[in-house]
Chain A
Protein backbone atom coordinates (compact mmCIF):
# COMPACT_ATOMS: atom_id res chain seq x y z
CA UNK A 1 0.00 0.00 0.00
CA UNK A 2 1.11 3.55 -0.62
CA UNK A 3 0.38 6.81 1.15
CA UNK A 4 0.33 9.71 -1.25
CA UNK A 5 0.71 13.27 -0.04
CA UNK A 6 0.31 16.09 -2.52
CA UNK A 7 0.84 19.81 -2.04
CA UNK A 8 -1.19 21.61 -4.72
CA UNK A 9 -2.46 25.05 -5.68
CA UNK A 10 -5.65 25.84 -3.71
CA UNK A 11 -7.52 26.55 -6.93
CA UNK A 12 -6.81 23.02 -8.23
CA UNK A 13 -8.52 21.14 -5.40
CA UNK A 14 -11.81 20.62 -7.24
CA UNK A 15 -10.06 19.26 -10.33
CA UNK A 16 -7.94 16.88 -8.23
CA UNK A 17 -10.98 15.71 -6.27
CA UNK A 18 -12.86 14.93 -9.50
CA UNK A 19 -9.85 13.17 -11.01
CA UNK A 20 -9.47 10.94 -7.95
CA UNK A 21 -13.20 10.12 -7.94
CA UNK A 22 -12.90 9.16 -11.63
CA UNK A 23 -10.17 6.57 -11.00
CA UNK A 24 -12.00 5.19 -7.97
CA UNK A 25 -9.92 6.47 -5.04
CA UNK A 26 -12.35 6.00 -2.18
CA UNK A 27 -11.32 8.72 0.24
CA UNK A 28 -9.09 11.73 0.72
CA UNK A 29 -8.06 14.09 3.48
CA UNK A 30 -7.62 17.78 2.69
CA UNK A 31 -5.86 20.46 4.76
CA UNK A 32 -5.28 24.14 4.08
CA UNK A 33 -1.57 24.74 4.58
CA UNK A 34 1.07 27.41 4.00
CA UNK A 35 4.60 26.95 2.82
CA UNK A 36 7.35 27.78 0.41
CA UNK A 37 9.54 25.93 -2.06
CA UNK A 38 12.10 27.18 -4.53
CA UNK A 39 9.83 30.19 -5.19
CA UNK A 40 10.45 31.39 -1.59
CA UNK A 41 7.16 33.28 -1.22
CA UNK A 42 6.33 36.37 -3.24
CA UNK A 43 6.66 40.12 -3.07
CA UNK A 44 3.72 42.50 -2.91
CA UNK A 45 3.26 46.22 -2.28
CA UNK A 46 0.97 47.49 0.49
CA UNK A 47 0.49 51.24 0.78
CA UNK A 48 3.78 51.90 -1.01
CA UNK A 49 5.85 49.51 1.10
CA UNK A 50 7.16 46.31 -0.44
CA UNK A 51 6.66 43.21 1.64
CA UNK A 52 7.29 39.52 1.19
CA UNK A 53 4.68 36.89 1.80
CA UNK A 54 6.99 34.13 3.01
CA UNK A 55 4.44 31.36 3.15
CA UNK A 56 2.01 30.93 0.29
CA UNK A 57 -1.34 29.22 0.76
CA UNK A 58 -1.48 25.67 -0.57
CA UNK A 59 -3.75 22.66 -0.14
CA UNK A 60 -2.42 19.37 1.18
CA UNK A 61 -4.18 16.28 -0.18
CA UNK A 62 -3.59 12.89 1.44
CA UNK A 63 -4.80 9.56 0.06
CA UNK A 64 -4.05 5.95 0.89
CA UNK A 65 -4.21 3.48 -2.04
CA UNK A 66 -3.13 -0.01 -3.01
CA UNK A 67 0.36 -0.35 -4.46
CA UNK A 68 -1.24 -1.19 -7.81
CA UNK A 69 -3.21 2.08 -7.83
CA UNK A 70 -0.31 4.31 -6.71
CA UNK A 71 1.11 5.18 -10.12
CA UNK A 72 -2.32 5.92 -11.55
CA UNK A 73 -3.19 8.10 -8.53
CA UNK A 74 0.00 10.16 -8.75
CA UNK A 75 -0.57 10.57 -12.48
CA UNK A 76 -4.18 11.68 -11.94
CA UNK A 77 -3.19 14.26 -9.30
CA UNK A 78 -0.39 15.55 -11.49
CA UNK A 79 -2.58 15.88 -14.56
CA UNK A 80 -5.37 17.62 -12.68
CA UNK A 81 -3.21 20.07 -10.73
CA UNK A 82 -0.63 21.09 -13.29
CA UNK A 83 -0.56 24.62 -14.69
CA UNK A 84 3.04 24.39 -15.86
CA UNK A 85 3.95 27.43 -13.80
CA UNK A 86 6.11 27.85 -10.73
CA UNK A 87 4.26 27.01 -7.51
CA UNK A 88 2.34 23.98 -8.76
CA UNK A 89 3.55 21.93 -5.81
CA UNK A 90 4.81 18.40 -5.25
CA UNK A 91 3.56 14.85 -4.81
CA UNK A 92 5.21 12.57 -2.24
CA UNK A 93 4.71 8.81 -2.11
CA UNK A 94 5.37 6.79 1.07
CA UNK A 95 5.25 3.09 1.79
CA UNK A 96 2.24 2.41 3.97
CA UNK A 97 2.73 -0.24 6.62
CA UNK A 98 -0.80 -0.85 7.75
CA UNK A 99 -4.31 0.58 7.86
CA UNK A 100 -7.12 -0.12 10.30
CA UNK A 101 -10.74 0.86 9.79
CA UNK A 102 -11.82 1.84 13.27
CA UNK A 103 -15.50 0.87 12.96
CA UNK A 104 -15.05 -2.69 11.62
CA UNK A 105 -11.55 -3.50 12.88
CA UNK A 106 -10.52 -4.48 9.28
CA UNK A 107 -6.80 -4.29 8.53
CA UNK A 108 -4.68 -3.86 5.40
CA UNK A 109 -6.06 -3.36 1.90
CA UNK A 110 -9.61 -4.23 2.86
CA UNK A 111 -9.56 -1.22 5.18
CA UNK A 112 -8.68 1.21 2.39
Chain B
Protein backbone atom coordinates (compact mmCIF):
# COMPACT_ATOMS: atom_id res chain seq x y z
CA UNK B 1 0.00 0.00 0.00
CA UNK B 2 1.30 3.46 -0.86
CA UNK B 3 1.78 6.01 1.86
CA UNK B 4 -1.12 8.02 0.50
CA UNK B 5 -3.34 4.94 0.56
CA UNK B 6 -2.31 4.25 4.14
CA UNK B 7 -3.08 7.83 5.13
CA UNK B 8 -6.55 7.63 3.55
CA UNK B 9 -7.18 4.40 5.47
CA UNK B 10 -6.32 6.09 8.73
CA UNK B 11 -8.58 8.96 7.81
CA UNK B 12 -11.50 6.70 6.95
CA UNK B 13 -14.22 6.85 9.64
CA UNK B 14 -14.76 3.06 9.70
CA UNK B 15 -11.13 2.44 10.70
CA UNK B 16 -11.14 5.12 13.36
CA UNK B 17 -14.31 3.94 15.04
CA UNK B 18 -14.12 0.27 15.81
CA UNK B 19 -12.11 -2.92 15.56
CA UNK B 20 -13.72 -5.71 13.49
CA UNK B 21 -15.33 -8.55 15.47
CA UNK B 22 -12.76 -11.21 14.56
CA UNK B 23 -9.94 -8.87 15.54
CA UNK B 24 -11.58 -8.33 18.93
CA UNK B 25 -11.81 -12.11 19.34
CA UNK B 26 -8.13 -12.46 18.46
CA UNK B 27 -7.01 -9.58 20.70
CA UNK B 28 -9.04 -10.81 23.67
CA UNK B 29 -7.67 -14.33 23.24
CA UNK B 30 -4.17 -12.92 22.93
CA UNK B 31 -4.58 -11.06 26.22
CA UNK B 32 -5.60 -14.30 27.96
CA UNK B 33 -2.71 -16.23 26.46
CA UNK B 34 -0.03 -13.65 27.23
CA UNK B 35 -1.38 -12.97 30.71
CA UNK B 36 -1.79 -16.70 31.25
CA UNK B 37 1.84 -17.47 30.69
CA UNK B 38 2.87 -14.56 32.90
CA UNK B 39 0.68 -16.00 35.67
CA UNK B 40 2.08 -19.46 34.93
CA UNK B 41 5.54 -18.14 35.75
CA UNK B 42 4.26 -17.03 39.16
CA UNK B 43 4.40 -20.74 40.00
CA UNK B 44 8.15 -20.43 39.56
CA UNK B 45 8.12 -17.29 41.69
CA UNK B 46 6.32 -19.03 44.56
CA UNK B 47 8.65 -22.01 44.20
CA UNK B 48 11.84 -19.93 44.38
CA UNK B 49 10.52 -17.74 47.21
CA UNK B 50 9.69 -20.81 49.27
CA UNK B 51 12.91 -22.63 48.39
CA UNK B 52 14.79 -19.57 49.62
CA UNK B 53 12.92 -19.15 52.89
CA UNK B 54 13.04 -22.76 54.11
CA UNK B 55 16.14 -24.23 55.70
CA UNK B 56 18.55 -26.03 53.36
CA UNK B 57 17.48 -29.46 54.63
CA UNK B 58 13.94 -28.98 53.26
CA UNK B 59 14.76 -27.46 49.86
CA UNK B 60 14.22 -30.47 47.61
CA UNK B 61 10.89 -31.16 49.30
CA UNK B 62 9.70 -27.60 48.76
CA UNK B 63 10.64 -27.76 45.08
CA UNK B 64 8.91 -31.13 44.73
CA UNK B 65 5.72 -29.86 46.33
CA UNK B 66 5.62 -26.78 44.11
CA UNK B 67 5.98 -28.51 40.77
CA UNK B 68 3.61 -31.28 41.87
CA UNK B 69 0.89 -28.96 43.11
CA UNK B 70 1.07 -26.91 39.93
CA UNK B 71 0.66 -30.04 37.82
CA UNK B 72 -2.06 -31.44 40.03
CA UNK B 73 -4.05 -28.20 39.73
CA UNK B 74 -4.12 -28.77 35.96
CA UNK B 75 -5.84 -32.12 36.55
CA UNK B 76 -8.25 -30.98 39.26
CA UNK B 77 -9.30 -27.90 37.31
CA UNK B 78 -9.74 -29.88 34.09
CA UNK B 79 -11.75 -32.71 35.64
CA UNK B 80 -14.12 -30.66 37.76
CA UNK B 81 -12.96 -27.15 38.55
CA UNK B 82 -13.48 -25.23 35.30
CA UNK B 83 -17.12 -26.12 34.84
CA UNK B 84 -17.81 -25.84 38.56
CA UNK B 85 -16.46 -22.28 38.39
CA UNK B 86 -18.19 -21.27 35.14
CA UNK B 87 -21.74 -22.68 35.04
CA UNK B 88 -22.57 -20.24 32.18
CA UNK B 89 -26.04 -19.77 33.60
CA UNK B 90 -26.76 -23.48 34.20
CA UNK B 91 -27.02 -23.56 37.99
CA UNK B 92 -28.28 -26.61 39.87
CA UNK B 93 -28.71 -24.33 42.88
CA UNK B 94 -29.19 -20.82 41.51
CA UNK B 95 -26.13 -18.65 42.13
CA UNK B 96 -24.49 -21.17 44.46
CA UNK B 97 -23.76 -24.48 42.73
CA UNK B 98 -23.13 -25.03 39.03
CA UNK B 99 -25.02 -27.55 36.93
CA UNK B 100 -21.86 -29.68 37.07
CA UNK B 101 -22.42 -31.25 33.62
CA UNK B 102 -20.48 -31.54 31.43
CA UNK B 103 -18.01 -32.05 34.23
CA UNK B 104 -14.69 -31.92 32.41
CA UNK B 105 -13.55 -28.86 30.52
CA UNK B 106 -14.04 -29.09 26.72
CA UNK B 107 -12.19 -26.88 24.25
CA UNK B 108 -13.23 -25.72 20.78
CA UNK B 109 -12.58 -28.05 17.81
CA UNK B 110 -9.23 -28.09 15.99
CA UNK B 111 -9.07 -25.34 13.34
CA UNK B 112 -12.50 -24.08 14.34
CA UNK B 113 -14.28 -21.74 11.88
CA UNK B 114 -15.33 -18.27 13.11
CA UNK B 115 -19.02 -19.18 13.03
CA UNK B 116 -18.37 -22.35 15.08
CA UNK B 117 -16.45 -20.83 18.03
CA UNK B 118 -18.17 -20.80 21.44
CA UNK B 119 -18.38 -17.01 21.53
CA UNK B 120 -17.12 -15.01 18.55
CA UNK B 121 -17.89 -11.76 20.33
CA UNK B 122 -15.45 -12.64 23.11
CA UNK B 123 -12.46 -15.01 23.10
CA UNK B 124 -11.31 -18.56 22.43
CA UNK B 125 -12.46 -21.00 25.12
CA UNK B 126 -8.96 -22.47 25.30
CA UNK B 127 -7.42 -19.08 26.09
CA UNK B 128 -9.94 -18.48 28.87
CA UNK B 129 -9.49 -21.98 30.27
CA UNK B 130 -5.69 -21.61 30.26
CA UNK B 131 -5.84 -18.19 31.95
CA UNK B 132 -8.29 -19.31 34.64
CA UNK B 133 -6.36 -22.52 35.36
CA UNK B 134 -3.30 -20.43 36.17
CA UNK B 135 -5.30 -18.53 38.81
CA UNK B 136 -6.45 -21.79 40.32
CA UNK B 137 -2.85 -23.04 40.47
CA UNK B 138 -1.72 -19.77 42.08
CA UNK B 139 -4.23 -20.32 44.89
CA UNK B 140 -2.72 -23.74 45.59
CA UNK B 141 0.83 -22.33 45.52
CA UNK B 142 -0.02 -20.03 48.42
CA UNK B 143 -0.69 -22.99 50.71
CA UNK B 144 2.62 -24.80 50.36
CA UNK B 145 4.81 -22.06 51.83
CA UNK B 146 2.87 -21.77 55.09
CA UNK B 147 3.05 -25.51 55.81
CA UNK B 148 6.66 -25.99 54.74
CA UNK B 149 9.30 -28.05 56.57
CA UNK B 150 6.92 -30.36 58.46
CA UNK B 151 4.09 -31.65 56.26
CA UNK B 152 4.17 -34.98 54.42
CA UNK B 153 4.20 -34.87 50.63
CA UNK B 154 1.19 -37.02 49.72
CA UNK B 155 -1.39 -35.72 52.22
CA UNK B 156 -0.41 -32.21 51.13
CA UNK B 157 -1.01 -33.10 47.48
CA UNK B 158 -4.34 -34.72 48.31
CA UNK B 159 -5.45 -31.44 49.87
CA UNK B 160 -4.17 -29.53 46.82
CA UNK B 161 -6.33 -31.69 44.57
CA UNK B 162 -9.48 -31.02 46.63
CA UNK B 163 -8.65 -27.30 46.80
CA UNK B 164 -8.16 -26.93 43.04
CA UNK B 165 -10.98 -29.23 41.93
CA UNK B 166 -13.64 -28.17 44.43
CA UNK B 167 -13.01 -25.52 47.08
CA UNK B 168 -11.45 -22.80 44.92
CA UNK B 169 -13.75 -23.21 41.87
CA UNK B 170 -16.91 -23.39 43.97
CA UNK B 171 -16.34 -20.10 45.80
CA UNK B 172 -14.94 -18.50 42.63
CA UNK B 173 -18.23 -19.31 40.85
CA UNK B 174 -20.06 -17.17 43.39
CA UNK B 175 -18.22 -14.11 42.05
CA UNK B 176 -16.60 -14.82 38.69
CA UNK B 177 -19.10 -17.43 37.56
CA UNK B 178 -21.92 -14.92 37.95
CA UNK B 179 -23.16 -16.33 41.26
CA UNK B 180 -24.80 -14.72 44.27
CA UNK B 181 -21.81 -12.61 45.39
CA UNK B 182 -21.65 -11.11 41.92
CA UNK B 183 -25.38 -10.38 42.06
CA UNK B 184 -24.88 -8.68 45.42
CA UNK B 185 -22.44 -6.24 43.79
CA UNK B 186 -19.25 -7.68 45.28
CA UNK B 187 -16.20 -6.33 43.42
CA UNK B 188 -12.92 -8.24 43.31
CA UNK B 189 -11.11 -7.40 40.09
CA UNK B 190 -8.35 -10.01 39.97
CA UNK B 191 -8.96 -11.84 43.24
CA UNK B 192 -7.63 -10.28 46.46
CA UNK B 193 -10.36 -12.35 48.09
CA UNK B 194 -11.27 -14.98 45.48
CA UNK B 195 -7.65 -16.09 44.98
CA UNK B 196 -5.32 -14.72 47.64
CA UNK B 197 -7.44 -14.78 50.76
CA UNK B 198 -8.77 -18.19 49.76
CA UNK B 199 -5.21 -19.54 49.54
CA UNK B 200 -4.51 -17.88 52.89
CA UNK B 201 -7.59 -19.32 54.61
CA UNK B 202 -6.83 -22.81 53.31
CA UNK B 203 -3.25 -22.48 54.55
CA UNK B 204 -4.33 -21.12 57.94
CA UNK B 205 -6.66 -24.07 58.49
CA UNK B 206 -3.80 -26.41 57.61
CA UNK B 207 -1.33 -24.60 59.88
CA UNK B 208 -3.70 -24.88 62.87
CA UNK B 209 -4.04 -28.64 62.44
CA UNK B 210 -0.40 -29.20 61.52
CA UNK B 211 1.12 -27.15 64.36
CA UNK B 212 4.39 -25.20 64.37
CA UNK B 213 7.81 -26.55 63.41
CA UNK B 214 9.73 -28.32 66.18
CA UNK B 215 11.52 -25.81 68.36
CA UNK B 216 9.86 -22.78 66.77
CA UNK B 217 8.25 -21.66 70.04
CA UNK B 218 10.35 -22.54 73.06
CA UNK B 219 9.89 -21.36 76.67
CA UNK B 220 7.65 -18.49 75.54
CA UNK B 221 10.22 -17.33 73.01
CA UNK B 222 10.03 -17.27 69.23
CA UNK B 223 13.01 -19.05 67.71
CA UNK B 224 14.02 -17.57 64.35
CA UNK B 225 14.76 -20.11 61.64
CA UNK B 226 16.44 -18.06 58.91
CA UNK B 227 15.89 -19.05 55.30
CA UNK B 228 18.72 -20.79 53.53
CA UNK B 229 18.92 -18.83 50.31
CA UNK B 230 17.93 -15.18 50.15
CA UNK B 231 19.01 -14.69 46.51
CA UNK B 232 16.44 -17.35 45.54
CA UNK B 233 13.78 -15.71 47.72
CA UNK B 234 14.48 -12.36 46.07
CA UNK B 235 14.41 -13.87 42.59
CA UNK B 236 11.10 -15.51 43.43
CA UNK B 237 9.65 -12.20 44.58
CA UNK B 238 10.74 -10.42 41.40
CA UNK B 239 9.23 -13.24 39.31
CA UNK B 240 5.94 -12.93 41.20
CA UNK B 241 6.02 -9.17 40.75
CA UNK B 242 6.42 -9.63 36.98
CA UNK B 243 3.77 -12.33 36.81
CA UNK B 244 1.35 -10.01 38.57
CA UNK B 245 1.10 -7.84 35.46
CA UNK B 246 -0.55 -10.82 33.80
CA UNK B 247 -2.60 -11.57 36.89
CA UNK B 248 -4.09 -8.09 37.19
CA UNK B 249 -3.71 -6.90 33.58
CA UNK B 250 -5.29 -10.05 32.17
CA UNK B 251 -8.22 -9.64 34.54
CA UNK B 252 -9.38 -6.73 32.41
CA UNK B 253 -10.65 -9.73 30.38
CA UNK B 254 -10.73 -7.77 27.10
CA UNK B 255 -8.25 -6.02 24.84
CA UNK B 256 -10.35 -5.24 21.76
CA UNK B 257 -10.84 -1.50 22.20
CA UNK B 258 -8.87 1.64 22.94
CA UNK B 259 -10.58 1.84 26.33
CA UNK B 260 -9.57 -1.72 27.26
CA UNK B 261 -5.95 -1.25 26.24
CA UNK B 262 -5.76 2.05 28.12
CA UNK B 263 -7.26 0.33 31.18
CA UNK B 264 -4.75 -2.52 30.98
CA UNK B 265 -2.01 0.08 30.88
CA UNK B 266 -3.39 1.78 34.00
CA UNK B 267 -3.54 -1.61 35.70
CA UNK B 268 0.11 -2.40 34.91
CA UNK B 269 1.26 0.96 36.27
CA UNK B 270 -0.91 0.77 39.40
CA UNK B 271 0.16 -2.81 40.09
CA UNK B 272 3.80 -1.77 39.96
CA UNK B 273 3.16 1.27 42.15
CA UNK B 274 1.48 -0.80 44.86
CA UNK B 275 4.33 -3.34 44.94
CA UNK B 276 6.86 -0.52 45.27
CA UNK B 277 4.84 1.05 48.09
CA UNK B 278 4.62 -2.23 49.98
CA UNK B 279 8.33 -2.97 49.65
CA UNK B 280 9.49 0.49 50.65
CA UNK B 281 7.26 0.79 53.72
CA UNK B 282 8.53 -2.60 54.94
CA UNK B 283 12.11 -1.47 54.34
CA UNK B 284 11.63 1.69 56.37
CA UNK B 285 9.54 0.09 59.13
CA UNK B 286 11.94 -2.79 59.81
CA UNK B 287 14.81 -0.29 59.93
CA UNK B 288 12.91 1.83 62.47
CA UNK B 289 11.54 -1.06 64.54
CA UNK B 290 14.52 -3.38 64.61
CA UNK B 291 17.48 -1.13 63.86
CA UNK B 292 18.27 -3.05 60.68
CA UNK B 293 16.28 -3.50 57.49
CA UNK B 294 14.97 -7.07 57.04
CA UNK B 295 15.13 -8.24 53.41
CA UNK B 296 12.59 -11.05 53.93
CA UNK B 297 10.07 -8.49 55.19
CA UNK B 298 10.78 -6.22 52.22
CA UNK B 299 10.05 -9.17 49.92
CA UNK B 300 6.83 -9.90 51.81
CA UNK B 301 6.00 -6.19 51.70
CA UNK B 302 6.25 -6.06 47.92
CA UNK B 303 3.98 -9.09 47.63
CA UNK B 304 1.51 -7.65 50.15
CA UNK B 305 1.41 -4.48 48.05
CA UNK B 306 0.59 -6.59 45.01
CA UNK B 307 -2.14 -8.54 46.81
CA UNK B 308 -3.62 -5.29 48.16
CA UNK B 309 -4.04 -3.72 44.71
CA UNK B 310 -5.42 -6.93 43.15
CA UNK B 311 -9.04 -6.28 44.17
CA UNK B 312 -9.02 -2.94 42.33
CA UNK B 313 -5.98 -2.21 40.18
CA UNK B 314 -7.87 -0.05 37.67
CA UNK B 315 -9.59 2.89 39.36
CA UNK B 316 -6.92 4.21 41.78
CA UNK B 317 -4.53 6.94 40.72
CA UNK B 318 -0.83 6.07 40.86
CA UNK B 319 -0.53 7.84 44.20
CA UNK B 320 -3.48 6.06 45.76
CA UNK B 321 -2.28 2.73 44.36
CA UNK B 322 1.08 3.32 46.07
CA UNK B 323 -0.68 4.07 49.36
CA UNK B 324 -2.90 0.97 49.09
CA UNK B 325 0.29 -1.05 48.62
CA UNK B 326 1.94 0.72 51.58
CA UNK B 327 -0.88 -0.35 53.89
CA UNK B 328 -0.30 -3.94 52.72
CA UNK B 329 3.38 -3.58 53.63
CA UNK B 330 2.50 -2.23 57.09
CA UNK B 331 0.16 -5.18 57.65
CA UNK B 332 3.00 -7.61 56.91
CA UNK B 333 5.52 -5.98 59.22
CA UNK B 334 3.11 -6.11 62.16
CA UNK B 335 1.28 -9.35 61.36
CA UNK B 336 4.36 -11.57 61.00
CA UNK B 337 5.42 -11.20 64.67
CA UNK B 338 1.75 -11.21 65.73
CA UNK B 339 1.18 -14.65 64.17
CA UNK B 340 4.28 -15.86 65.99
CA UNK B 341 2.80 -14.58 69.26
CA UNK B 342 -0.27 -16.70 68.47
CA UNK B 343 2.07 -19.65 67.77
CA UNK B 344 0.85 -19.95 64.19
CA UNK B 345 3.96 -20.95 62.27
CA UNK B 346 3.89 -19.51 58.75
CA UNK B 347 7.30 -20.23 57.23
CA UNK B 348 7.15 -17.73 54.36
CA UNK B 349 4.67 -15.12 55.65
CA UNK B 350 1.90 -16.13 53.24
CA UNK B 351 -0.90 -15.57 55.76
CA UNK B 352 -0.07 -11.87 56.28
CA UNK B 353 0.69 -11.42 52.58
CA UNK B 354 -2.21 -13.25 50.97
CA UNK B 355 -4.92 -13.50 53.60
CA UNK B 356 -4.58 -10.23 55.52
CA UNK B 357 -3.44 -7.98 52.67
CA UNK B 358 -6.14 -9.67 50.56
CA UNK B 359 -8.79 -8.64 53.07
CA UNK B 360 -7.39 -5.10 53.17
CA UNK B 361 -7.32 -4.83 49.36
CA UNK B 362 -10.92 -6.01 49.12
CA UNK B 363 -12.10 -3.52 51.75
CA UNK B 364 -10.20 -0.73 49.97
CA UNK B 365 -12.13 -1.08 46.69
CA UNK B 366 -14.89 1.45 47.59
CA UNK B 367 -12.19 4.08 48.29
CA UNK B 368 -11.66 4.51 44.56
CA UNK B 369 -14.61 2.73 42.93
CA UNK B 370 -18.05 4.15 43.65
CA UNK B 371 -19.73 0.98 42.32
CA UNK B 372 -18.55 -0.90 45.41
CA UNK B 373 -19.85 -0.60 48.96
CA UNK B 374 -18.05 -1.36 52.20
CA UNK B 375 -20.90 -3.49 53.52
CA UNK B 376 -21.04 -5.72 50.43
CA UNK B 377 -17.26 -6.06 50.34
CA UNK B 378 -17.09 -7.04 54.01
CA UNK B 379 -20.07 -9.41 53.77
CA UNK B 380 -18.41 -11.15 50.83
CA UNK B 381 -15.07 -11.41 52.64
CA UNK B 382 -16.85 -13.06 55.56
CA UNK B 383 -18.84 -15.47 53.38
CA UNK B 384 -15.83 -16.55 51.27
CA UNK B 385 -13.62 -16.69 54.35
CA UNK B 386 -16.04 -18.73 56.43
CA UNK B 387 -16.72 -21.19 53.62
CA UNK B 388 -13.05 -21.65 52.68
CA UNK B 389 -11.78 -21.89 56.23
CA UNK B 390 -14.45 -24.36 57.36
CA UNK B 391 -14.24 -26.50 54.21
CA UNK B 392 -10.44 -26.54 54.35
CA UNK B 393 -10.41 -27.28 58.06
CA UNK B 394 -12.70 -30.27 57.56
CA UNK B 395 -10.61 -31.59 54.67
CA UNK B 396 -7.33 -31.15 56.60
CA UNK B 397 -8.92 -32.74 59.67
CA UNK B 398 -10.14 -35.81 57.76
CA UNK B 399 -6.84 -36.25 55.87
CA UNK B 400 -4.99 -35.95 59.18
CA UNK B 401 -7.24 -38.56 60.85
CA UNK B 402 -6.83 -41.04 58.00
CA UNK B 403 -3.21 -40.59 56.93
CA UNK B 404 -1.58 -38.17 59.39
CA UNK B 405 -0.26 -35.02 57.76
CA UNK B 406 2.84 -34.47 59.87
CA UNK B 407 6.20 -36.20 59.57
CA UNK B 408 7.78 -37.79 62.67
CA UNK B 409 9.98 -35.71 64.98
CA UNK B 410 13.02 -37.62 63.86
CA UNK B 411 12.24 -37.03 60.18
CA UNK B 412 11.60 -33.34 60.78
CA UNK B 413 14.93 -32.89 62.54
CA UNK B 414 16.76 -34.74 59.78
CA UNK B 415 15.02 -32.58 57.19
CA UNK B 416 12.36 -33.71 54.73
CA UNK B 417 14.85 -33.87 51.86
CA UNK B 418 16.54 -36.81 53.51
CA UNK B 419 13.68 -38.46 55.38
CA UNK B 420 10.88 -38.16 52.81
CA UNK B 421 12.80 -38.00 49.53
CA UNK B 422 16.34 -39.23 50.20
CA UNK B 423 17.66 -36.44 48.01
CA UNK B 424 19.67 -33.41 49.10
CA UNK B 425 19.28 -30.11 47.26
CA UNK B 426 23.04 -29.58 47.43
CA UNK B 427 24.60 -33.02 47.91
CA UNK B 428 28.15 -31.74 47.60
CA UNK B 429 27.88 -29.10 50.31
CA UNK B 430 28.82 -30.08 53.81
CA UNK B 431 26.47 -29.05 56.58
Contacts and interface: CB of A to CB of B under 8 A. Distances in A.
B296 A47 contact: yes
Interface string A45-57: 1111111000000
B356 to A, nearest CB: 15
B403 interface: no
A46 B222 CA distance: 10
B316 interface: no
B290 A49 contact: no
A48 B224 CA distance: 8
Interface string A33-54: 0000000000011111111000
B296 A49 contact: no
A45 B224 CA distance: 8
A81 B292 CA distance: 27
Interface centre among A46, A50, A51 (most CB of B within 10 A): A46
Contacts of A47: 224, 294, 296-297, 336-337, 340, 349
A51 to B, nearest CB: 4
Nearest to B222: A49
Contacts of B223: 49, 51
Interface residues of B, number: 17
Given A50-B224, A51-B223, A45 B292 contact: yes
A46 B294 contact: yes
A48 B337 contact: yes
B226 interface: yes
A50 B289 CA distance: 12
Contact of A45 (B290, B340, B349): B290
B416 to A, nearest CB: 21
A48 B340 contact: yes
B324 to A, nearest CB: 23
A49 B349 CA distance: 13
A26 B340 CA distance: 54
A47 B299 CA distance: 11
Contacts of B336: 47-48
A86 to B, nearest CB: 18
B296 A46 contact: yes
Contacts of B337: 47-49
Interface string A70-111: 000000000000000000000000000000000000000000
Nearest to A45: B290
B301 to A, nearest CB: 12
B218 to A, nearest CB: 11
A69 B289 CA distance: 52
A16 B294 CA distance: 33
A79 B349 CA distance: 46
Interface centre among B223, B291, B333 (most CB of A within 10 A): B223
Contacts of A44: 224, 292
A43 to B, nearest CB: 10
Nearest to B333: A48
Contacts of B292: 44-45
A51 B224 CA distance: 6
Interface string B218-242: 0000111110000000000000000
B338 to A, nearest CB: 9
A44 B286 CA distance: 12
Contacts of A48: 222, 289-290, 294, 297, 333, 336-337, 340
State the 5 A-B residue pairs at the shortest beta-carbon distance, nearest first.
A48-B337, A51-B224, A46-B224, A49-B222, A49-B224
Interface of A: 44-51
Interface of B: 222-226, 289-292, 294, 296-297, 333, 336-337, 340, 349
30 contacts: A44-B224, A45-B224, A45-B290, A45-B291, A45-B294, A46-B224, A46-B225, A46-B226, A46-B296, A47-B294, A47-B296, A47-B297, A47-B337, A47-B340, A47-B349, A48-B222, A48-B290, A48-B294, A48-B333, A48-B336, A48-B337, A48-B340, A49-B222, A49-B223, A49-B224, A49-B337, A49-B340, A50-B222, A51-B223, A51-B224
Given A48-B289, A51-B224, 14 more contacts: A44-B292, A45-B224, A45-B290, A45-B294, A47-B296, A47-B337, A48-B290, A48-B297, A49-B222, A49-B223, A49-B224, A49-B337, A50-B222, A50-B224
